[in-house]
């Protein structure tokens, strides 16, 4: 019961990070066969991990409904409800990429059902959490971090995932509806994320760097740009299936927009390195679950780079894909090892997440 009552949604970031490493390993352009095998094994591991996390979240909702309600009103922990659909997306995508080899055509059906459920959860995150920010949360510009992106990004993550499902749908009318819905989901997220990125730039310029406990959060900026790229490239690929007469225009516009997002992502990546390096060199960085922010955002940016390589075939994206994956794998090994060590030392998941809410310590009693 201590484990259940101490469980919070930020634990799903471990599923996000592990899942994206599995997918990137499997899909790395010209990757060796052993890496695909390792990615498949990691996908199965992550499927079990996400299932356990969902059970723990469900048990807490059933046994401690007031505690879950308090999470919704907490200005930090509520942001991580967006981690639930993003962690589930890494499982859903695996059913389309790796699942058919093990489960046959039924993998597409399972993936499609899970995608619909996941889309509903993502919609809840993208609408409910921002509304709670407007009416009940205690926020201030000086305390803003890239964590504000967490409830917004799931819509574009699910949108990008739909590109894998669309070719397996039964008829053209349904494909067209899903295609249009995908663009709407993308629009729920990416333009809103641009507003937040501009506000984050202002916050960093006026109020300087975030607290060191939240320094890693700047990496989240890569996530919204990476999944924005993936969504656009899926639109470019699937446009020929649903609107063949518009396919060249759709593909050209989507690819150009994806290139622009990729360039902006490089800018944020450089500054994320600089901010992390500054804290490591000057002030040190205490470990917390926020360190998983080094994995999923970089992983989806690497995935977007993979898709640009497949579309354009240029060497810069090939080598960038390999570089980003090596960096991602290194980060994952490092963060996973620290997470396991702290679990062993602290004995309960809630203790390992203490530092994540450091700047809201007065409210910690609300989340248990």
Residue 224 corresponds to which tokens in the numbers above?
């919204």
Does residue 364 surpass a pLDDT of 80? no
Does residue 359 surpass a pLDDT of 60? no
Going by C-alpha positions, the residue among 142, 285, 172, 146 that lies closest to residue 225 is 146
Give 15-66 pLDDT, tens digit per residue.
Answer: 999 999 999 999 999 999 999 999 999 999 999 999 999 999 999 999 999 9
Mean pLDDT, residues 88-98 taken together: 98
Residue 81 corresponds to which tokens in the numbers above?
């409800």
Residue 116 corresponds to which tokens in the numbers above?
């619909």
Does residue 4 surpass a pLDDT of 90? no
- What is the percentage of the chain residues whose pLDDT exceeds 90? 86
Instruction: Give the separation between CA 225 and CA 221, rounded to whole angstroms.
Output: 7
Residue 285 corresponds to which tokens in the numbers above?
């960085």
Please give the pLDDT value at position 347: 59
Please give the pLDDT value at position 244: 93
Q: What are phi and psi of 292, to 5 degrees?
A: -65, -15
Give 241-256 pLDDT, tens digit per residue.
Answer: 999 999 999 999 999 9
Give residue 47's Cα distance to chain centre.
16
Instruction: Give the separation between CA 316 and CA 338, rounded to whole angstroms.
Output: 33
Sign of CA dihedral 345, 349, 351, 352: positive
Residue extents of the structural domains in the chain: 2-356
Instruction: Give the separation between CA 214 and CA 358, rounded to whole angstroms.
Output: 9
Average pLDDT, the chain: 92
Does residue 355 surpass a pLDDT of 50? no
Mean pLDDT, residues 212-216 taken together: 91
Give 169-191 pLDDT, tens digit per residue.
Answer: 989 999 999 999 999 999 999 99
Please give the pLDDT value at position 285: 82
Instruction: Give the separation between CA 100 and CA 143, rounded to whole angstroms.
Output: 46
Please give the pLDDT value at position 6: 86
pTM of the predicted protein model: 0.92
How sure is the predictor about 354, in pLDDT bands with cuts at 50, 70 and 90? very low
Q: In the chain, which ranges are continuous DSSP H helix? A: 2-5, 12-27, 33-63, 65-73, 83-97, 99-103, 106-135, 154-165, 172-207, 220-242, 247-278, 296-312, 315-346, 349-352, 364-367
Give 135-167 pLDDT, tens digit per residue.
Answer: 999 999 999 999 999 999 999 999 999 999 999
CATH for 2-356 is 1.50.10.150
Going by C-alpha positions, the residue among 267, 272, 285 that lies closest to residue 334 is 285
Residue 196 corresponds to which tokens in the numbers above?
């937040």
Instruction: Give the separation between CA 241 and CA 172, rounded to whole angstroms.
Output: 8
Give 267-300 pLDDT, tens digit per residue.
Answer: 999 999 999 999 988 877 888 889 999 999 999 9
């Amino acid at each position: 019961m201590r484990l259940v009552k101490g469980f919070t949604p930020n634990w799903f970031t471990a599923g996000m990070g592990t899942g994206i490493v599995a997918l990137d390993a499997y899909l790395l352009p010209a990757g060796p066969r052993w890496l695909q095998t390792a990615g498949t094994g990691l996908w199965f591991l992550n499927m079990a991990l996400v299932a356990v996390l969902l059970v723990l979240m469900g048990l807490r909702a059933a046994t401690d409904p007031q505690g879950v309600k308090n999470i919704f009103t907490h200005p930090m922990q509520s942001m991580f409800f967006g981690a639930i659909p993003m962690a589930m997306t890494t499982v859903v995508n695996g059913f389309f990429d790796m699942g058919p080899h093990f489960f046959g055509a039924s993998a597409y059906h399972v993936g499609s059902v899970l995608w619909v459920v996941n889309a509903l959860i993502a919609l809840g995150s993208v609408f409910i959490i921002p509304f709670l920010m407007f009416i009940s949360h205690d926020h201030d510009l000086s305390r803003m971090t890239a964590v504000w992106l967490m409830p917004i990004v799931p819509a574009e993550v699910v949108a990008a995932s739909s590109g894998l499902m669309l070719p397996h749908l039964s008829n053209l009318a349904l494909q067209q509806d899903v295609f249009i819905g995908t663009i709407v989901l993308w629009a729920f997220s990416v333009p809103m994320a641009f507003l937040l990125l501009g506000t984050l730039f202002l916050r960093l310029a006026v109020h300087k760097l975030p607290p060191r406990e939240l320094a890693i959060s700047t990496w989240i900026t890569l996530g919204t740009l990476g999944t924005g790229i993936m969504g656009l490239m899926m639109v470019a690929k699937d446009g020929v299936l649903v609107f063949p007469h518009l396919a060249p225009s759709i593909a050209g516009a989507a690819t150009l927009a994806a290139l622009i997002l990729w360039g902006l992502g490089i800018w944020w990546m450089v500054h994320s390195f600089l901010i992390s390096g500054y804290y490591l060199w000057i002030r040190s960085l205490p470990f917390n679950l926020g360190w998983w922010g080094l994995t999923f955002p970089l992983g989806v940016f690497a995935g977007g780079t993979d898709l640009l390589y497949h579309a354009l075939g240029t060497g810069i994206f090939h080598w960038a894909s390999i570089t980003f994956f090596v960096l991602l794998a290194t980060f994952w090994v490092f963060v996973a090892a620290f997470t396991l060590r702290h679990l062993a030392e602290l004995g309960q998941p809630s203790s390992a997440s203490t530092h994540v809410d450091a700047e809201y310590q007065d409210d910690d009693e609300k989340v248990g």
